[in-house]
Amino acid sequence: MKTTANSQALTLREVVQSTSSRASHPINSKMRLKINLMLHRMSAPQLIAFAQHIVTKMTGNSFFATPSPLLTALTTATNALQVAYDNAQGGGPLQTSLMHQKREALEILVTAEGHYVEDRANDPANSATGPEAIILSSGMNIKGVSLKQKRVFSATAGNTPGTAVLVAAHITRGAHDWQYTLDPNQANSWKQVEQTIQATVTVSGLESFKHYYFRHRLILKDGATAWENPVELLVL
């Protein structure tokens, strides 16, 4: 029987639906954290870079010993979209249609991987590390935290290219200090962001498709606290 791109996409959808069904019965619904992929906002090059970032972060990551789908499947789909995207530049309707099919196939796989990461992050066996750290270690972003959950320092892609939104825990008195760098191992490379009273700030002027590191500390009446551990983000 001949296999078409649409039938392949249908098979992939069934994988996502199966994974979603498992995720609909959370291990701990009260504190379960969700992933915010925002794939619909990404251009094809951004989606390719994001998928490559996920594979890099999850490869050899002890929290994701049995990724589902396999990371090799993500890589294959990413490469296929890259080829289709290149062919569609200056190509005709057929090449553009094929690019859309390859994009859909990659989005389905990334979404399924997101469900897998959610399940691993919210598994009570990993409670010592915490779901926030586990999700961020996959290269994915955390969906908005509810009022019943503790807010942790995180970085997510902004609504416009070259921006990042940083969020930290609320404080009653004091200010928030923010910095970013491309290389956290270079002590003098950290760049200052304007201090804020609010527990969030948008950093602009960043380069798309580059990995940035962000850190945060509190400025209290007795002085500054220690910097929190940096978080990494692929800026879109």
| Residue-wise pLDDT tens digits, 49-70 | 999 999 999 999 999 999 999 9
What is the rounded average pLDDT of the residues 111-131? 93
pLDDT surpassing 80 at residue 235: yes
Could you read off the pLDDT of 84-95 as tens digits, one per residue? 999 999 999 999
Predicted confidence at residue 38, as pLDDT, reads: 84
As given in the structure block, the two tokens for residue 127 are 């409670």
Predicted confidence at residue 15, as pLDDT, reads: 47
- Provide the percentage of residues in the chain whose pLDDT is more than 90: 61
Give yes or no for a contact between 39 and 49, defined as CB atoms under 8 angstroms apart.
no
d(CA 141, CA 155): 8
Give yes or no for a contact between 155 and 164, defined as CB atoms under 8 angstroms apart.
yes
Q: C-alpha dihedral over 191, 197, 201, 204, to 10 degrees?
A: -50
Q: pLDDT band at 157, cuts 50/70/90?
A: confident
Predicted confidence at residue 144, as pLDDT, reads: 58
Minimum mean pLDDT range among 38-52, 102-116, 181-195: 38-52
Taking the domain 154-234, which CATH number applies?
Answer: 2.60.40.10
pLDDT surpassing 70 at residue 28: no
Predicted confidence at residue 32, as pLDDT, reads: 77
What does the domain layout of the chain look like in residue ranges? 5-137, 154-234
CB atoms < 10 A from the CB of 181, how many? Answer: 17
Give yes or no for a contact between 136 and 154, defined as CB atoms under 8 angstroms apart.
yes
Q: Residue for token digits 């196939």?
A: 105
